[in-house]
Amino acid sequence: MNKINTAVTIRDFQPGDEAAFRRLNEEWITRYFAVESKDEQSFADPQATIIDHGGRIFLAFHEDNAVGCCALLFISPGEFEVGKMAVTQSLQGAGIGRQLLERTIAEARAAGATRLYLETNHTLTPAISLYRSLGFQPVPSGRVVPSPYDRADVFMELQLPPS
């Protein structure tokens, strides 16, 4: 798919966005895997499980429809996990995921992050290519922490030097 001509706007999660956040994530998870208990916790109350713990959620909108999302989950001071990244299937390949991830990285950097971490699955090659293109590298095997997700088998990080 080509880049979309109509502008995509990206904004922070707001009350009322819970259904869109769930829909976008369930769409891709159920296409490839199964929704797990950790997913359900995040979907049930993203405000409490992500935002109230120092994280953020960004949503991309195209023609007033939520078409993508990405979350920054607080790990520790200076460290965040990039998670719950999704773009609706009909618009995949249009550059929305890149815009979301670039915004997420910029916001993490502005918040003083020095390291971003993510977990994915080896079958999601377009996502892995996107992560690599923006500087994410494999986490050395000796530093991989067990994941709460059965589907996670690729672990990547991006070092953000202080500005």
Ranges of each domain in the chain: 8-118
pLDDT averaged over every residue in the chain: 95
User: How far is 89 from 74, CA to CA, in rounded Å?
Assistant: 27
> What percent of the chain is predicted at pLDDT more than 90?
93
The architecture (CATH level 2) of 8-118 comes to 3-Layer(aba) Sandwich (3.40)
Condensed to tens digits (0 to 9), the pLDDT of residues 94-134 reads 999 999 999 999 999 999 999 999 999 999 999 999 999 99
pLDDT digits (tens, 9 = 90+) for 42-64: 999 999 999 999 999 999 999 99
pLDDT interval class at 152 (50, 70, 90): very high
One-letter amino acid at 7 equals A
How many CB atoms sit inside 10 A of residue 18's CB? 16
Is the Cβ–Cβ distance between 101 and 38 less than 8 Å? no
Q: How far apart are CA 102 and CA 86, in angstroms?
A: 14
